[in-house]
Structure 1
C-alpha cells in the first residue's frame, strides 16, 4: 500500500507550480523543465481547507482548489469524479468544478487543481424560491445522464435501501432520543409498516444519484440561488429518492419536496425521500450523542429540524392517483 507523504504549504506550492506548468506545456505543445516558474508572477497563497498542514484539500489563491487523494482507492474515485463531472455538465445549468490541471502528487496518488465555484454553502445561505428551481434543474438533469456512459466510467450501482429496515432502526434510536429529551419518538408513528411498504422503491427507477447533497456541497449565493454543486466522488447509480432525502437534510423538507416536484417526481419518490431523511436524521443524532457520529451535534440537530419540517404532502395513502396526477 502506497504511503502518502504529509502535504505541507511548501509541497503544495511546488505541486501547483508544476501542475500549471505542465498544463500550459500540454496546451501549447511545448515542453520545459519541470518545477520552474517560467517567468510567472508571484505565486498564489495556499492554505488548507478546514485543518492544518496535512490536509488533503487546499485553497489556492481565490480561484482554485487543490485536492489530493490520500490513497489508491481515493485516487480511483478522484479520476472517476473528474470524468463524471464532464459527463454531467451538459445536462445541468448549475456550475460544476472544472479540473484545470491534474496529475500525481506522489507515486500512484492522484491530485487535481479545480476551479473554485464562487459563493457560500447552504449552511450559510438560505435557498430562495428561484434557488429551488435550480435544484429542480439539477434533479431533472441527473435523470437525463445516460446510464450506460456512467456505467462505463465505473460509477457503482447500489440497491435501494429498505425503508422498513431503516424505520425499525429509527424507532429504536428515537426512543433513546426521547429519553434524552432530544426528540418526540411518537412522531415516527406516522410511518407505520404498511406506509413504509407503500414507499418501497419502484422497479426501473435507477438514475445517476449525486448521493452527497449536503449543505456543504451546495454552493449558494447571497440571493439564494444555487450556483454550484461539489462532491461528486460519492455518485452512484441508484434510487433518486436518496438525493431528495439529501436535499431535505440540507435545505429543509418543504424546499426539497417542491424542487423534486418541479423536477417531475411524483408523490411516492417525494415521500420516500422525505422519510429516508427523517429516519436518517434520527439515527445520526442518536449516534452523535453517543459519539459514534463525529458530525458536530448542532449540525445534526439542525438537520433533524430541517427533515421534520412539515410539508403539504404528509400522509401516505394510496399513491396511485397522486402519481398519475403528478
Structure 2
C-alpha cells in the first residue's frame, strides 16, 4: 500500500500560491503555519483562511461530503458555518478545502454568555430541523445510539483508576445507577442530524460570549441528539449545555442522557491518557472532565416521566 504523503510548509505554500495569487507577494511567499503543533494537515493561511488537507481516502470522502452538508445546514442555523473559498485535491485522491476563517476564539478560550447559550439552543434546533432524508442523500451515515450502561461500567472502572492517582472521586459515579442508565436509554424514533464532533475548538466564541460559528462537520451523523448535548457539556460546561438543550425544546431525558454520556466519556478518556493509551493534552482532558461534572439542577435520574 502506498504511504500517503506528508504535507510540508513548502507543499502548502505552493498550493496556496495557485489558489490565492495575491498571497505570493513578498520574498517569503504566503504566511502558513500549522493550526496546532504536530498536526500537519490543518494550516492557517495568513489571518483570513484555513487550509485543511485530507490525510487519507476515508478523510477525503468526509471532506467532500462536508462541503455539501454545510450548504444544507447553513439556512437552518443562527450561527455561521465555514464557507469554502476553494477545494480540490492536494495530492492524487486526497482532498483539500480552503475556508474563510470565522472571526472569534474557541470555547476553550472564551466562556459562553447567556446570549451565547441561546445561540447554542439555535444550533440544536437548527440541526434537528434538517430533513433526515436530504442528509441521507448526501451520504451522511446513521449512527446507532451508544449503550449508557456499557459506558457506565467502563467509567466505573476508569474512575477507580483515577481515584488511585488522586485525580477523581470515584464515588461521584454512584449517582448513575444501572436502573438510572436504563431509564436514560435512547428512545426509538428520535434520530436527527447531529454534528457528532462538538468540542471546545469546534465552537467559535467571541470575547463577549456569543457563539459565532461551528467548525468541522466531517463527523456528522444521523443519530442520537444526546450526543450533541454531551459534546456541548464537554465544550462549554454541563449547566450551559443543559440550559441550551432545554431552550431548544429537549426534555429531561435527553438532557440527562447527554450529561451522563459526557461524564462517562471524560472519566474514561482521562484514565486512558494517564495510562499512556491515548495522546493529547492532559490539561485539556482535566478541563473537559471538570466541565462535564459541573453540577446542574436536573441531577435526578429517577421518576422520569415518559416523553
Q: TM-score range by the shorter chain?
A: over 0.9
- Correspondence list, 1:1-326, <5 A: 1-20=1-20, 37=21, 44-51=30-37, 55-320=40-305, 323=307
Between the aligned partners of 1:316 and 1:49, the Cα distance in structure 2 is: 41
C-alpha distance after superposition, 1:112-160 (max 9, x if no partner): 1111001111111000000000000000000001111111111111110
Deviation at 1:295, TM superposition (A): 2.2
From the superposition, tell whether residues 198 and 115 of structure 1 become closer, same or farther in structure 2 (CA, over 3 Å): same
Between the aligned partners of 1:48 and 1:147, the Cα distance in structure 2 is: 35
Q: Structure 2 length as normaliser, TM-score?
A: 0.95
Deviation at 1:186, TM superposition (A): 1.0
From the superposition, tell whether residues 39 and 108 of structure 1 become closer, same or farther in structure 2 (CA, over 3 Å): closer
Number of residue pairs the alignment of both structures matches: 305
Between the aligned partners of 1:303 and 1:69, the Cα distance in structure 2 is: 27
Deviation at 1:293, TM superposition (A): 2.1
From the superposition, tell whether residues 38 and 125 of structure 1 become closer, same or farther in structure 2 (CA, over 3 Å): closer
Maintained 8 Å contact 1:2/1:71: no
Maintained 8 Å contact 2:233/2:292: yes
Unmatched 5+ residue regions in structure 2? none
Q: What's 1:33 paired with?
A: none
Between the aligned partners of 2:97 and 2:262, the Cα distance in structure 1 is: 32
Deviation at 1:10, TM superposition (A): 2.6
Q: Structure 1 length as normaliser, TM-score?
A: 0.90
Between the aligned partners of 1:263 and 1:295, the Cα distance in structure 2 is: 32
C-alpha distance after superposition, 1:74-112 (max 9, x if no partner): 111110111111111010011111111111111111111
Maintained 8 Å contact 2:192/2:223: yes
Larger radius of gyration between Structure 1 and Structure 2: 1
From the superposition, tell whether residues 226 and 154 of structure 1 become closer, same or farther in structure 2 (CA, over 3 Å): same
